[in-house]
Amino acid sequence: MKTVATVAALRQSRSSWVGDTVAFVPTMGNLHEGHLTLVDRARQEADRVIASIFVNPTQFGPSEDFASYPRTLEADLEKLASRGCDLTFVPAQEELYPRGIDAFTTVDVPAVGTGLCDASRPGHFRGVASVVTRLLNAVSPDIAVFGQKDYQQLKTMERMVAELLLPVSLVAAPIAREPSGLAMSSRNGYLSDAQKQQAGTLYRTLKQIRDDLVEGDQSWSEQREVARSQLRQAGLEPEYLELRHPQTLELPTPGHAEAWVLLAAVRLGGTRLIDNLVLPTPVNVR
């Protein structure tokens, strides 16, 4: 596997793959098995795989963990090489933000859905869209692979690519999970083994809501209140627990049948965890 640090070197390597399709996996490093399943999916989709490792400062809020975000570059490169990644782009901040992060060109995608992660992390998706646009323009992939765990982010990327007419196809990879059911995330590294078991309550709660909605046992508003109470009893403080349209992330209209998506964010101590679950069949919300 080759590692490059500049856009010029990246494009030079990319240009030598004449006739090969290229899939791209953008990451912030501190890689876990969930990231590596994205690389596996990329290998299935294309002849060549490029990954990037860049801890993007513009998507962190003032009180978030940019400075303390784990940097594990050597281990990350070994993991990517072991899964057949062909090239990894590891740019310095000035490579992507040559004028610094106080005066940079932004890509601001209109909110996909209201609230959710956008409510508690203002400016987050603007930072994500700004850096992903730069990376897509640098890599020029045929395919880009994103995980479904960050569902609102995925839908934001889909809207950005469509509206900016970017010549790339997006592939959504399923959520990889810990044995407890907890969605894999770099932030799981902040949790003890006991807390990971505790956090698995979130996924179990989403599955119970899904089953109850499909069976029509009770209304969504009743289910949400019961679920929020169950999460608190398990030591998880809900930030949001929502049922939304799977594409637009709009709130459901009572009586309208749709295969909705459940989305949740909770806090366990100082760690924020998100998860989602798409309902397998259309359900009338009441």
Catalytic residue among 32, 35, 124, 245: 35
E strand spans, the chain:
2-4, 22-27, 48-53, 87-89, 143-147, 169-173, 237-244, 257-258, 261-268, 271-278, 283-284
Residue 35 annotated to the active site: yes
Given its phi and psi angles, is residue 81 left (phi above 0), alpha (psi -120 to 50 degrees) or beta?
alpha
Q: What is the CA radius of gyration of the chain?
A: 19
Please give the full DSSP string across 171-220, using - where no structure is assigned.
EEEPPPB-TTSPBP-GGGGGS-HHHHHHHTHHHHHHHHHHHHHHHT-S-H
Which residues does the annotation mark as catalytic?
35
